[in-house]
Amino acid sequence: MPSNTYYNLPTTKKDKIFKMALEEFTNNSYNDASITRMVETLKIAKGSIYQYFNNKKDLYFFLIEQVSTKKLEYISSNVKFETSDFIELYKQILKIGTRFDIEYPTYSIFLSKVFSGNHDPFKNETIDSMKLMSDNYIKNLIIQARDNGQIRKDIDIELIAFFLTEITTNIGRYIMKKNDINQQKLVSNIKNDTLNIQIEKALDDTLELIKKGILA
Amino acid sequence: MPSNTYYNLPTTKKDKIFKMALEEFTNNSYNDASITRMVETLKIAKGSIYQYFNNKKDLYFFLIEQVSTKKLEYISSNVKFETSDFIELYKQILKIGTRFDIEYPTYSIFLSKVFSGNHDPFKNETIDSMKLMSDNYIKNLIIQARDNGQIRKDIDIELIAFFLTEITTNIGRYIMKKNDINQQKLVSNIKNDTLNIQIEKALDDTLELIKKGILA
DNA sequence: TTATCATATGACTATACAGTCACATTATAT
DNA sequence: ATATAATGTGACTGTATAGTCATATGATAA
């Protein structure tokens, strides 16, 4: 947990430190991420960081908690659970999630690295339980939809869940790459609808593939 | 490139070093992988490693080259290009690739880390061109299949390629996890057909989803 | 003004790493 | 047996890191 000293910091300084830390841990594995490099870039003393956070791990877990919360809030504040049509509901979640990925690419990349757990020295129960919760959430939606006769019953539910999440986890970054979207472009186009339409179309097509497959 | 000294080593020693190095670079990012730790475990002098390889990067690239070659050979030596049915051909490739992933999980995980390029300090042209080749190969298969009327024409070919590769890249490890397959089990079951049948079924179901989607 | 608390600092410690090199050991050839 | 070449060795160098701590600076309150 960060100290009060950190929370009492002027917002600009707090944000600068947060942003820098997130960048450092996004571009490097936990061990490669360097506090020393951070403080050099930020032009603050090394001791300061250790007044804000107990240690490197504390800072890292703070980032995870903040970024996860941000994404969850973003999604839950936008989803409207009005439909009982699974596909429509899933489309909503997918669109909002993808919009988040595109609006906050650093957050999205950071999270995917944390969850992939590739070069993470911590077996973190928080992360594991979040992963489990998210998996179960999707699985329950699918079970309901199957019971309602919306989804085929001849294929293992877990395989369908894998199939869905595999696609939807990475579609955001695929769209960004494909349409050559970067943060500059985003800022200047955020109110330009052409970009939004392209994204919308890619997501609709993706769902069409998920629904009906690739056969002619 | 490794030195002649390395190639002249007795096979057992050579293999031990190779295996250890692969493990080290699979379990750690490039920078976290430690030559010092390797030689301590291997109980050889640090200087020896530097008689076999120019430096850490040299060793790393050697691993990439060896492991990629192994997978390519494994696949190309097993695929029979007899069918003009895209789905059948793709199923073949998928099954062989998955079999490789399951038989050589370390190789598979190593490769996926290299290709994801997450915490890799090198922008390696070899890797990039391999990725491009592989992408183009799949894309060409899809284009042919679409021209033959086997695949729907209303959806962007690149999205279909993304859709296919996204699933097939990770299905191997999903199956392993789901069926709780580890290397011990594999060795004892490699001639036991029950495991093979489970794997076969999961792959068939995956292809069924790819072909026709999830709708009832 | 003075005393007290909060915050900032950067030199310093301990540790780990890649890579080097002068020397030791072993194998091969004469 | 002797000379030559190939291989093995580990102490050492330079560099980077996380984390510490005595001290300095700033703010606040009496």
Residue A155 with chain B: CB contacts under 8 Å: 205, 208-209, 214
pLDDT band at B120 (very low <50, low <70, confident <90, very high): confident
pLDDT of residue B189: 62
pLDDT at A115 over 80: yes
The pair phi, psi for residue A115, each rounded to 5°, is -75, -35
pLDDT band at A28 (very low <50, low <70, confident <90, very high): very high
Residue B172 CA to C21 C1' — how many Å?
A: 47
pLDDT of residue B32: 95
pLDDT of residue B213: 92
Tell whether B34 lies on the interface with A, counting CB pairs under 8 A: no
> Which nucleotide C1' is nearest B59 CA?
C18
pLDDT at B126 over 90: no
pLDDT of residue B179: 82
Among A153, A208, A210, beta carbon nearest to B216:
A153
B163 with A209: Cβ contact below 8 A: yes
pLDDT at B83 over 90: no
Number of H helices, E strands in chain A: 11, 0
Written as one string, the DSSP assignment of B129-195 is HHHHHHHHHHHHHHHHHHHTTSB-SSS-HHHHHHHHHHHHHHHHHHHHHHTT--HHHHHHHTT-HHH
pLDDT band at B23 (very low <50, low <70, confident <90, very high): very high
Mean of the per-residue pLDDT values of chain B = 90
pLDDT at A156 over 70: yes
pLDDT of residue A184: 65
**Overall pTM > 0.95:** no
Residue B113 with chain A: CB contacts under 8 Å: 118
A156 with B206: Cβ contact below 8 A: no
3-class SS of residue B208:
helix
pLDDT of residue A79: 84
**In Å, how far are A22, A151, B24, B89 from A109, measured between CA atoms?**
10, 31, 24, 34
More confident call, B114 vs B179: B114
**A78-111 pLDDT tens trace:** 888 777 788 889 989 888 998 898 889 899 999 9
pLDDT of residue A57: 96
Mean of the per-residue pLDDT values of chain A = 90
Residue of chain A minimizing CA distance to B175? A159
Residue A47 CA to C11 C1' — how many Å?
A: 11
pLDDT of residue A134: 86
The separation between CA A5 and the C-alpha centre of its own chain, rounded to angstroms, equals 28
